[in-house]
Every structure is written in C-alpha cells, then in structure tokens.
A = this chain, B = another copy of it.
Amino acid sequence: MSFLDQISSPTLLIDEKITRANIKRMADKAHSQGKKLVPHWKTAQSHEIGKWAEDYGITEVTASSIKLAEYLCGQGWKNIHIAFPFNIRETKRLDRLAEKQSLSVQIVNPITAKHLADNLTHEVGFFIEIDAGYGRTGVHVSDFGTIEEILRASKKSNHLKFKGFYLHPGHTYYTADKAGIYDQSKDALRMLKTKYQSEFPDLVTRIGDTPGCSVMEDFGDVDELGPGNFVFFDLMQAEMGSCRKEDISVCLAVPVVDINLQRKEILVHGGGVHLAKDVLVDEKGNKNFGEVVLLNEKGWEILKDRSYLKSISQEHGVIKASDSLLQSVKIGDLLGILPIHSCMTADCMGAYLSLDGKWIDHAEGCH
C-alpha cells in the first residue's frame, strides 16, 4: 500500500531523504569551517526530525517561543535557545523550564535584563540581539550604552549568564546583495567580539537566516550559524536562489474536488488554513500561493509545464492548470502543492506524513 492510499483530506507530506540532504549540506558547510550549526527549529517543530538532525552532529536547537521550547524539552538537546526578544510576562514559566533544560534567551533592552536578573532562580543563558541594518528588532550595533546596561544588569544575578551576540540579518530576504549584508553583519559581530571578549572570553557570535547561510560560503570568524527554513526550504527560498525546487522537502497533498475545463482551473481542498497565506507576486502582479507537483508512490515530481494556485480562501484553492495537467487529472485525485513558506504551512498543519506512511510529530499550537 502506498502512503497515498492513506490520504483522504489535505495532508502535509515530508520527504525524509530530501530533508536529511538539506540538513547534511548545511551541517557540512558549517562544520567544515569549524562553526556550530544551531538550527532554528520553528520550521520543523518536531522530535522525530530532531533525531534525523542528530545524525549530522546537531546537538542544540533554537525555538521561537517558550511553548515550543517546552515541547522540545526532554529530547536530549544540550541547549535550547529561545530566539525571540524575551517577554517578561513569561519569566516564571522560563524559570520552571530552566530547572530541567539548559536554556538561553534573547535580550534587547535593560528592563528585560533587570527583570530576569531579579526573578530567575535557575541558570539561563542569554544572547544580546544586535540590529546591524535589518531594523526589525535588536540593539543597534553601535549602541554600546544599551549593551553595557544589559551586561551590568545581568551581572547582578548568579543565574543570568551572558553567552554572546545574536544577529538575524533578515533583510537578506529582500535584496540580491546577500554578500554585502553578510560582510556588514560579520564586521558588526567581529567588532563586538573584539570589544567585549577581554571581559567575556567565552562569548560567541551567531548569525542566522536561510538565504544568507545558503548562498554564502565564508562565514569569517562568526562562531555559530542559526538558519531554520533550510531544513525544508520552499518556493520563496527557491525564488531567492537559496535552493532548487528539487530541494523543497515538504508538500501539501490536496484532493481534487472539481475541474473547470473552460477556465482551465482545478478546484482543490487546500486553502489558507492549510498553506497559510504567504504569496509570491510576479512583475505582472500575478499571485502564486503554491506550485503543483505530481504525486507518485515515491514522492513527487516537479512539472515542466507550470501549474499553480492562483487564489486561495479559507479552505478553497484554485489552480491555474497547464493543458497537460488538465488532461490527466480527475476528480478524487490527489495533487501536491509546494508551499510558498514552509514554516507557516507546517505550523498550520501540525503533523507530517512520511513517504513510507508514518506520521511524524509537529508541535501542536506552539504559539
């Protein structure tokens, strides 16, 4: 029996072989330069996929929320880093978790550092998040006043341990010049390391985003890499040149419920609650909510003639279909959809089906 026979409703498929190859490629790149790879597990959110990652020397992961860190706890991770500016309303919850799991958090202001220093009763590490141009969050790279206020506040506690500087150059998503952004980011981290390492000889620097980590070859003297999406990749990453479409390792299986030959459209059960609503828009303004692949017993096949989701609503997906797809598809068939943003799709679906018909866990509602 093929895994396809198990599927009656929208189901997120995972190709273990492609996933492992993605993890191995990034781990090899990091390790060959002596860097530690600490993948952001907001993408996979899975114990089982964590076990695959261990095979490539991954011993620590990053979570996007304390809920996800709780889910990942107890799986043998040497440390779980929560890469989100710490929310002081969750201090008690953090303290409880820190009793049984080595944790680190991210701090972007002295108020948070002081609050943690005053309230923690178990050891928690922290990174200072640095903004070197992205402009979403973090202490500005030249704002030494704030950095030192955070460090001073943390020193008042025996439980809050400074680990280093974290930089997420998310603006690599919006520009072709990833090398320029990386040069700037590496310079920023080098400057901070030089400035503070006499006082903190063990401090490390971490940089992390999939577009940058995928295309850059030389990470200079940055110590740790923290990308997340590369575990699955997706069409957004393929469009940016981070990967080939063949490297995308998850795909939403959707049942065909109607076919409109005149409009060359196929209606599937697969909408915003399954894929999320991330979208690629081409120069002409055409929207693409996911691209069709043909499912077979071994996984899926990328089509030469492109068919794609031109619109989605809560549950409906409307495929603009190529002539060859229209000729071959029947009501009741399954099609595959490569997602635009795999992290969001996995978060919507809450579980994966492997190509040998095994269910694979994904944290439920970890946000």
A residues with a Cβ closer than 8 A to B are 7-10, 42, 64-67, 84-90, 92-93, 108-109, 111-112, 115, 135-137, 170, 255, 257-259, 263, 267, 269, 272-274, 276-278, 311, 313-316, 318, 331-332, 334, 343-344, 347-348, 350, 364-365, 367
Contact = CB atoms under 8 A, between A and B. Distances in A.
Contacts of A8: 87, 89-90, 92-93
8 contacts: A8-B90, A8-B93, A64-B315, A89-B334, A112-B258, A272-B276, A314-B343, A314-B347
A259 B170 CA distance: 19
B367 A84 contact: no
Nearest to A106: B257
Contact of A267 (B66, B137, B277): B137
Given A9-B65, A136-B318, A273-B367, 4 more contacts: A7-B89, A8-B89, A108-B257, A137-B316
A111 B331 contact: yes
Contact of A86 (B108, B109, B257): B257
A276 B274 contact: no
B87 A255 contact: yes
Contacts of A42: 314-315
A123 B263 CA distance: 34
Contacts of A10: 367
Given A42-B315, A87-B269, A267-B137, A9 B67 contact: yes
Contact of A269 (B84, B259, B278): B84
B108 A367 contact: no
A84 B316 contact: yes
